[in-house]
Chains A and B, each alone.
Chain A
Amino acid sequence: MSEEEKKEENVRVGIFVCHCGSNIGGLIDCHKLAEESKELPFVAHAEDNLYTCSETGLAAIKKAIEEHNLNRVVVASCTPRTHEPLFRECISEAGLNPYLFNFVNIRDQCTWVHMKHAQEAYDKAKDLIKMGAAKAVKLEPLEMIMVNITPAAMVIGGGVAGMSAALSLSRQGFKTYLVEKEDKLGGRLNSLYKLFPYDIDASEFIGNIISNVQNAKNLEILTSSQVINIEGFVGNFEVEVEHNGTINTFEIGAIIVAVGSSILDPTGLFGYDGNKRITQFELESKLKNNKINQKDIIMIQCVGSRIEERPYCSSVCCMTALKNALNIKDQNPEAHITILFRDLYTPGTEYEEYYRKAREQGVLFVKYDPEKMPVIEETQVKVFNEYINTEMTIPYDLLVLSTPLVANDDNKELAQMLKVPLEANKFFLEAHVKLRPNDFATDGVYIGGSAKWPVDITESISQGYAAASRASTILSHDTIEVEGATSCLPEYNKSLCTGCEVCVKVCPFNAIIKNEDDEIEIIEALCKGCGVCAATCTNQALVIRHFTDDQIMSEIFAYGGE
């Protein structure tokens, strides 16, 4: 962009209002929004598109940039958190600096949340576009910052997901560290008996994977080790790992979180005693070590899950109950097994088949109502059978509780070290459930397995590979472009700087220093662009690029009037 084009009087804004099918267009008149946007200052073109993010939509943006000589682009659509990169790339392909793009959120924060207020939603969208266009006028081209990448990965968690990720990365030739807090690899699989749906022996299965990991090139295993501190940023993390009281620091380019999950402590639920009334997990150990010879066995599903305190479905318990029921039948064909369930989930062809097999072998299924919970007595369970509308009394000599997988207690500490979020149940929260399922919003950090949500082994392995694949997109480069929207002390503001150094003190990343010439200097590669320094600067000399005072004030004025 030439100096001439940077001047405000030469600004030409293009506005693209997305219908998002009916997500936006179904509630508010996107065509009218676009037409009215044409009246805004410096707007040279406005149009509405069915899907602005589609090939057609992107082509329309490029065409309009060319035809109308646009030098700022505003898209009013879903959310910048998912689609800003796409549109930045699009205008970049059309020859504009990617920072000359501004996103206006009129779906996630407008039409989706005001579905019964079409007129108000329209007015809100109109205001937001006005504000977005006002900021766009003030946008300036920025250069991305190049940083070097350390071609090494760290996988945190040595269960099946973590091992799959570590194997994948090491086989691609990246130096990989696999950190496990226990003294051996394998995670939960070490305690399981057989795996559904083909009744594979769990020890044999995990043994093979562990031996692959142990024999892999480029792969260093750190057992009895715990990550205690993480500094740095994408491509340049410094991770401190503690092992038997000694601390080692590793230079890491990308990090994968595969810490798995924990098992709910069932104390106080359904008369749990760890002996006659046990969990599925404990049942597996018994199956593994000795024959189960009890005759009357009852399993109860959704123990401590899908309740107010823990509203989620743990997803693996139905299949686990079916598997263990069949395994008991296998060891002791005379056993009577009754499964008390709320809903039975056996998705997919193989799992449904498994359910049918259990029925054929005589496993009984009784649906209970969460409003009328089964009553556990010393030797029998009273349950109201919804299907026959009658209370049943079923004797037992072994009661097995299907308890859910829960988030690890120490997830919060790790999340804080990585600066990534947890969801309401304290599992790790990915960047986007569909668009970026194995990424975090923080660059260079990825997620796989039950750390995110309870998943079975097949899914854990897939996700381990997925996370490894995502990490390799960073590790395979020597350098990477990172956010150019950093803090700066522009030449024209240097005279304003009083040298008070308050900015040096508030910067959380030590990115601001006083240099040899006694001037304030920003180390751009360290700056994350939070903007605290600019909001603090005692003489308002520091400028936070892309979120300048001028840009934010223009949004405030666009909304507040003037």
Chain B
Amino acid sequence: MSFEPKLLGFLCNWCSYAGADLAGVSRIQYPPNMRVIRVMCSGRVDPKFLIQALELGIDGVYVMGCHIGDCHYLEGNYEALRKFDMTKKLLSFVGLDNRIRLDWVSASEGVRFGEVVSKFVEDIRALGPSPLSRDNPDQELLKKVKAINMAAGTKRLRALVGRQRKITEEENVYGEKVPEEEFNELLDTALKEEYDRQRILLALARDSKSVKDLAVELSLEPSLVLEHMLTLKGRSQVDFQEIIGNTPLFMRI
């Protein structure tokens, strides 16, 4: 039997959900793989929702909102786009970024709704089952996705993405505007750093470990791990537990 993808869709109430209803009214037929969660605006979709769904082994997640410029809430879909891009970048660390998709479907695009869902089903079917599918999830990968989930909840990343439009599209109080490219570099660094830090925190969940242990376990440069430890200590998320020989062991607070 061919693999049937298990998909989840977040649809905005005003455009995409209405478009999905119109597909029904027009009796457009499309594959029955996707379950829908209705939200008022695509901008409501927290990156954590997407990551959580993948963590649970769902094969693909679709976010749909109003076309740019047509948002019922004026600019919610711009925010959706920023959040989605961040989520995609985070997921690219573990190669799951092609399992989420963002599209704009209007209330009148019933036919198109059927088409894009069919295409998504097809594309995910071609990718095969998620490595986190519930029968036999890849435990190493699962840990990494948990770290991504935690990273998406950090103040630093949320503040960066929340302020992104202001930072790149408007001038700050000093009359400066940060170019999009420069911002992206900043964001990319932050994403990688927070991801690694969350992995460290997860690795310290049960036992205290040394920087060297962590570096080996997580395949990271020891110097990098040390830098992260200092930041995490500054945030009161880790502390020294004991020193064995010359090696300090860290524990999670």
Contact = CB atoms under 8 A, between A and B. Distances in A.
A114 interface: yes
Contact of B53 (A120, A531, A556): A556
Contacts of A537: 158, 162
A230 to B, nearest CB: 12
Nearest to A127: B35
B21 A531 contact: no
B8 interface: yes
B91 interface: no
Nearest to A424: B108
B109 interface: yes
Contact of A530 (B36, B44, B70): B44
Contacts of A500: 155, 159
Interface stretch (B23-31, B212-220, B227-235, B238-246): B23-31
Interface string A524-562: 000011111011111110001001010011011101111
A45 B206 CA distance: 43
Contacts of B153: 540
B17 interface: yes
Chain A interface size band reads 35 or more
B5 interface: no
A535 B35 contact: no
Interface in A389-440: 415-416, 419, 421-424, 429
A412 B45 CA distance: 27
A441 B107 CA distance: 11
Nearest to B161: A536
Contacts of B41: 530-532
B44 A562 contact: no
Interface stretch (A52-60, A148-156, A283-291, A501-509): A501-509
B49 to A, nearest CB: 6
B57 interface: yes
A441 B35 contact: no
Contacts, number: 183
B32 A538 contact: no
- Which residue of B25, B35, B106 has the most chain A CB atoms within 10 A of its CB atom? B35
Contacts of B127: none
B56 A535 contact: no
B60 interface: no
Nearest to A546: B40
Contact of B37 (A114, A505, A509, A556): A556
A547 B25 contact: no
B52 A553 contact: yes
Contact of A529 (B40, B57, B108): B40
B250 interface: no
A107 interface: yes
Interface in B69-118: 69-76, 79, 83, 106-109, 114
Contacts of A124: 32, 35
Contacts of A121: 32
A115 B29 contact: yes
Contacts of B109: 424
Taking each of A110, A113, A498, A531, which has the highest tally of chain B beta carbons within 10 Å of its own beta carbon?
A113
B40 A559 contact: no
A535 B73 contact: no
A80 interface: yes
B21 to A, nearest CB: 4
Given A108-B25, A547-B40, A559 B18 contact: no
10 contacts: A79-B21, A81-B21, A105-B36, A113-B32, A424-B109, A506-B43, A506-B165, A537-B158, A552-B49, A559-B53
